[in-house]
Amino acid sequence: MPQSPADIAAKLPRFENHAEQETHFTTCYMCACRCGIKVTTENEQIRFIQGNRNHPVNKGVLCGKGNAGIMKQNSPAKLKHPMRRKSGSERGSGEFEAISWDEALDILTKRLKNIRDTDPKKLAFFTGRDQMQALTGLWASQFGTINWAAHGGFCSVNMASAGLYTTGHSFWEFGDPDWDNTRYFMLWGVAEDHASNPIKIGLEKLKKRGAKFVAINPVRTGYQAIADEWIAIKPGTDGIFALSMVHVLLRERLIDEEFLVRYTNAPQLIIQNPGGNNDGLVHRDQDGNPTLWCQSSEQVTSALNTDANPALVGEYTTDDGVLVKTAMSLILESYLDEQYAPEQAAKVCGIDAADIERLALEMAHVAFKETIEIKTPWVDWAGREHESFIGRPVSMHAMRGVSAHSNGFQTCRGIHLLQALLGTVDCPGGHLAKPPYPKHIAPPIKPAKAMAPNTPLNSPPLGFPTSPDDLVIDDDGNPLRIDKAYSWDAPLANHGLMHMVIKNAVNADPYPIDTLILFMANMAWNSSMNTAQTMEMLKAKNDDGEYKIPFIVCSDAFHSETVDFADLILPDTTYLERYDTISILDRPISEAHMACDAIRQPIINPDRDVRPWQEVLIDLAGRLKFPQFTNDEGKPRYEGYEDFIVNYEKSPGIGFLAGWRGDNQNDHLLGEPNPEQWERYKENECFFEFEFPDNFKYFRHANKEYLEFAQSLGWVNCTDQIVIELYSEKLQSFRLAALGQSDGPQPQTQAQRDRILRYFEPLPIYYQPLEQQEITKDEYPFFAITQRPMHMYHSWDSQNSWLRQITSHNYLYMSESKALELGIADLGWVWVESHNAKIRAQVKHMQGVQADTVWTWNAIGKRKGNWGLSKDAPESNKGFLLNHLISESLPKQDGITNSDPITGQAAWYDLKVKITPCYEKDDKSWPQFEGTKNPMTASTQDQSYQCGESVNLKRSLKDSLFKK
C-alpha cells in the first residue's frame, strides 16, 4: 500500500529544531554577483544558507561559493582586533600588537588631518573588490585627494569603457543578453567570474529553448564545457576575429541598415581634411548638431532632422566646401580591406577561415531570418509612435577574457560594432541595457584635477574624458595622479590604475606619497603584477631609513598577504555581520527590465573587536570634519552608516537606497529620506525591485518615455537620443592632439604621440598586444592565461575548509600533444619563464586547450603563513601565481604601464612564456616565501562543524530482522 508523503513524514523523527531557529534575508558576498540569500541560524550559529527564490539576481539558486558561506564565517583567518606594527619590527615581518579602536582611529585621524591640511594628494586611497565605491569615492572627494580608485583598472575597465563610449551600456552590471528571447548566444572569453548565477540561469534557458551557444575561449572548462560549439581562439586575438566577421557581414551586405540609420552615428558626416585641425571630426551645423546627407533634399542637414532620408554611404562636399564622408563609408573602407578577410584573420587568431565565415552567416541568419516582434506600442526620441519592438535575437557576453588584454578596449568596441551591424542592441533577443544604463556617450562626469588643502574636490576623482582637455595632467603634460590615470599613458583610465600605485609611489613617480590606504585589496599578492618584487617595494626604504611609502593602512576581514605589509590594520566584519547597500548609485544589480537595489543586514554578532569599514569611513569623515559629513554646529552629521544611508541625498530625493522613500514610505526611486527605510527593506527580504512597463523595455537609447523617466531619476541628464557611436570622434580628438592639430594639451614626447596615433583609432582596430610586440615570439612560444574556478573565484576563500577540499592547489594545464613534444609528463614539473621572471609549477595534460596556450586557475596559490593555513598547506607549497611572471611595465619601456594604452586596463592576459622540464627532485612550486612570523592560526586539526544536534534516523529492529 503506497504511503503519501504526509504519512511517511508522520513516522519520522523531528529532525530540525525549528523552534530555536531564525531565518533572515540578506545579500551574499562570496563573490561579486550579489545574490539574495535566506540564512537560517540556530543559537548564533548558521544552520543553512539558501538562495532567495524571490530575488531578482539569483531567483533562488546559489553557487558553490554561496553555499560555503558558513566556512567563511568560521574562518580561522578572521582578524580579531585593530593592530599596529610592533615598534622596531620590520614592515612585512607580520609582527603586530593589538590596540584599541580609539587608539587606531586617533593615529589615523592625526595623520590624515595633517595630510589634508597640507597636501591632500599625499593620501592614496585605493579599494579592492568592494561594492561601496559610491561611498569611498565620496569620502575621497570630501577629503580632497584625486588619488582614489577602486579595482576596476585591473578588472574590466576595457569592457566597461568600450561600452560606455559606444552603446552607452556594456556587459554584466551594465547589460545582459535577453535570455528569454535570444536564439544565438556568443560568449567571448572567460566569464565564470561575472556574473555567476545569472549566466548559469541564462544558459539553462538557452538550452531548453534550443538556442545555439557558441563559446570563444582558448580553454574548454566551465561554461565552455556545455557550449554547442567551442572556438579555440588564440588569446588576445578576439579583435581580429570580431572584425573579420564584420568583414563578412559588410561584404554580403547582411546588416540592419534601418538600425544603423536610426540609432547609430553611421550616417553622420565625418570631415575629411588630412593635416587639418578638424580632420576626422563630426561635421556639425550652426547649432553644433551632427549632420547627415539627406537623399531627398540632396543637402546636408541636421542629424536631428526627422524628415531626412539619410544616405548611409557616401562622400559629399558641404556648402561651405568641406569634404565629408559618412561614418559608414569609413566603416566599409576599413573592414572590407583584405586584412580583415577570414583567410587573413585565420592566420592571426587560429580559427579556420571557413568557421569565421560560417559563424558570421549563422548570426546573420538568426538576426534577419528569425526576427522577432513584440507588439508593444512605444514612442521614439522624436515623438513618433511605433507599434512594436523589432528584435534580432543574437546576443553576446564578454568579460575578462577580452578585457584583460592591452587591445581589449578596441576589441570590445569591435564586438559592439558587430552587435550594431546586426541590430541587436537593446532589442528583443539582443543585448539589453540594465538600469540606470544606457547613459549618454560618454557619461557627463569629468575627472577632478584641482586640489587644495582642506577643500573637497569639485568633481569626482573618476570620470569620462571626451577630449585631451579633460586629462588630469599639469601644464607640462605630466600626470597629476599617483597611478597616472588620465595621463597620456592611459587617457581614458576611467577606473584608475590601482596596479601601478605601489610602483609609482615607491619610485616617487610622479611624486612621493605619505599614506596608502588599501581596503579589501590583496596588492601584496594576487592583485599585483610582479608579486615578488611588489612585496620588496612595500618594504623599500630611502637612504634615511624611512619607508618609501611611509604609512600603509589596511582594512580587511581576513589575514591576507597584504595585511602583513601594513603599519595599521583596521579589521573589517564579514558579510554576515554588517549593514551594506548595493546601490543604483554604485555598482547596480538591476535586471534588464527592473531597477533593483539591495541591502545586507547583520545576521551574526561579531565575536571579535571588529568594525565594518563603512562605519569607520563615516566616523573618520566626522572626525576630519568633511563638509558633507559635518552639521552646522561643526559636529558629525551622521550617527553612523545606517543614519548616513537613510539621510544622505546625492540630489534632492535621490539617495543610496531607491526603495521606500518619502513620508508615506511608498515613494520609490525618488522621495524624501525615510527613517524607516532599513526596516522596509528587511520586511521585503532585503531587496527592492521596480519593474518597467512594457514600453520601457527596449530601444531605451531612443525611447522618449523611458528617457524622460530616466531623467526624472537622474540616471541621464537630458532626454536626447543616445546615438550609438560606432565612429568615435572622442578618440579622434586625441589623435588630432598627437598630430599637433589642437589648441588643448598635446603629448610631450614622440613615443606618446606615436602611441596615441596608433591606438586611438576612431573605428575599432585589432593590434597585437603590447607585451607581445616587444618580445621574441620564438623565445616565448606559449600564451599564458588564467581561468576562473567557479567554486573559488572572487571569494578569497583558500581559508574556506569546504572549498579547499575541492581545490587546494593549482596546476599548469597544457596541451597533451605539446607537452609530450617537449618531454613533459602528466603531473611533471616545469620551469615557466617570461621576460620578467621564472616560476616552477606542476603540469597537467589537457586536450581542450588551444595548442599554444597554457593556463591555470586564478586565486588558488597563497603565501605561507597567511589565511589561517598551516605551513604544509598545498596552497603555498604546490600552488603558484602567474603574477610573478607579469611585469607591471612593458618589457622595453620601464615606467610605461603594461596595460591597455587607452584605458590603462591591466594586461594580465598578454603574457608569453617558455616552458622547460624541471628535472630537480623537488615537488614544490617556486618561488616559495618565508612569510609572516606571526601566523594567525596554523591549525593542523580536523574540524567538525555542526549546528544543533543531529537526529539519527534509526532503522527499526523489525526491518533489520526481516529484510535482507
Partner 1 sequence: MKLGLTVDLDTCVGCHGCATACKQWNSSGTIGPLTDLNAYADEPDGPWLNRIRTYEVKAENEVSKTVHFPMSCLHCENAECVTVCPTGASYKREEDGIVLVDQDKCMGCNLCAWACPYGARELDEAQGVMKKCTLCVDRIYDQELEPEDRQPACVLTCPTGSRKFGDFDDPTSEVSLLTASRKGVDLMPELGYAPTNKYLPPRAAPQVPTHATSTSSSDAGIKGWINKMIAR
CA gap 157, 587 in Å, rounded: 13
Out of 600, 791, 835, 864, the residue judged to bind partner 1 by CB under 8 A: 791
Query: Shortest gap between Cβ of 381 and partner 1 (angstroms)?
Result: 11
CA gap 58, 858 in Å, rounded: 24
Query: Shortest gap between Cβ of 365 and partner 1 (angstroms)?
Result: 4
- List the strands of the sheet with 594-600, edge to edge: 580-582, 594-600, 687-691
Residue 681: left if φ>0, alpha if ψ -120 to 50, beta else—which one? alpha
If the CB atoms of residues 201 and 322 are measured against partner 1, the closer one turns out to be: 201
Residues sharing a CB contact under 8 Å with residue 679, sequence separation 6 or more, in sequence order: none
Calculate helix-pair angle for 238-251, 342-349, nearest 10 degrees: 170
Q: Does residue 799 touch partner 1 according to CB under 8 A?
A: yes
Taking residues 167 to 186 in sequence order and writing x for each that binds partner 1 by CB under 8 A, - otherwise, the string is -----------------x--
Query: Shortest gap between Cβ of 33 and partner 1 (angstroms)?
Result: 10
Residue 598 amino acid letter: A
Query: Shortest gap between Cβ of 528 and partner 1 (angstroms)?
Result: 25
Q: Does residue 866 touch partner 1 according to CB under 8 A?
A: no
CA gap 113, 108 in Å, rounded: 8
Do the Cβ atoms of 164 and 439 come closer than 8 Å? yes
Query: Shortest gap between Cβ of 722 and partner 1 (angstroms)?
Result: 15
Out of 262, 600, 840, 862, the residue judged to bind partner 1 by CB under 8 A: 262
CA gap 98, 653 in Å, rounded: 43
Q: Which of residues 803-832 bind partner 1 (CB under 8 A)?
A: 803-806, 808
Out of 81, 93, 107, 228, the residue judged to bind partner 1 by CB under 8 A: 228
| DSSP conformation letters of 896-916 | EESB-TTT--B-GGG-EEEEE
Q: Does residue 224 touch partner 1 according to CB under 8 A?
A: yes
Only one of the segments 364-372, 489-497, 764-772, 856-864 lies at the binding site for partner 1 (rule: CB under 8 A); that segment is: 364-372
Q: Which of residues 517-576 bind partner 1 (CB under 8 A)?
A: none
Angstrom distances, CA of residue 342 to CA of 240, 748, 921: 9, 39, 47
If the CB atoms of residues 822 and 938 are measured against partner 1, the closer one turns out to be: 938
Q: Does residue 188 touch partner 1 according to CB under 8 A?
A: no
Q: Does residue 683 touch partner 1 according to CB under 8 A?
A: no
794 CB-contact burial (10 Å; exposed 0-12 / middle 13-18 / buried 19+): buried
Query: Shortest gap between Cβ of 228 and partner 1 (angstroms)?
Result: 4
If the CB atoms of residues 333 and 679 are measured against partner 1, the closer one turns out to be: 333
CA gap 167, 415 in Å, rounded: 11
Query: Shortest gap between Cβ of 335 and partner 1 (angstroms)?
Result: 10
Q: Does residue 358 touch partner 1 according to CB under 8 A?
A: yes
Residue 752 amino acid letter: Q
C-alpha cell read off for 84 = 599596529
Q: Does residue 396 touch partner 1 according to CB under 8 A?
A: no
If the CB atoms of residues 387 and 959 are measured against partner 1, the closer one turns out to be: 959
Do the Cβ atoms of 697 and 593 come closer than 8 Å? yes
Q: Alpha helices, DSSP H only, in 775-873?
A: 803-806, 816-821
Q: Does residue 848 touch partner 1 according to CB under 8 A?
A: yes
Query: Shortest gap between Cβ of 364 and partner 1 (angstroms)?
Result: 4
Out of 28, 57, 62, 554, the residue judged to bind partner 1 by CB under 8 A: 62
Query: Shortest gap between Cβ of 720 and partner 1 (angstroms)?
Result: 14
CA atoms lying within 13 Å on the CB side of residue 243: 29
Out of 34, 129, 212, 704, the residue judged to bind partner 1 by CB under 8 A: 212
CA atoms lying within 13 Å on the CB side of residue 431: 30
How many residues touch partner 1 under the rule CB under 8 A: the total is: 129
List phi, psi (to 5°) of 929. -120, 140
Taking residues 932 to 951 in sequence order and writing x for each that binds partner 1 by CB under 8 A, - otherwise, the string is -----xxxxxxxxxxxx-xx
Residue 671 amino acid letter: G
Q: Does residue 921 touch partner 1 according to CB under 8 A?
A: no
Q: Does residue 952 touch partner 1 according to CB under 8 A?
A: yes
Q: Does residue 868 touch partner 1 according to CB under 8 A?
A: yes
Q: Which of residues 69-88 bind partner 1 (CB under 8 A)?
A: 69-70, 76
CA gap 238, 260 in Å, rounded: 23
Out of 872, 894, 920, 923, the residue judged to bind partner 1 by CB under 8 A: 872
Q: Does residue 225 touch partner 1 according to CB under 8 A?
A: yes
Angstrom distances, CA of residue 552 to CA of 492, 547, 563: 28, 10, 10
Q: Which of residues 281-340 bind partner 1 (CB under 8 A)?
A: 292, 295-296, 303, 305-314, 329, 332-333, 336
C-alpha cell read off for 647 = 539621510
CA gap 791, 127 in Å, rounded: 24
Out of 196, 272, 406, 733, the residue judged to bind partner 1 by CB under 8 A: 196
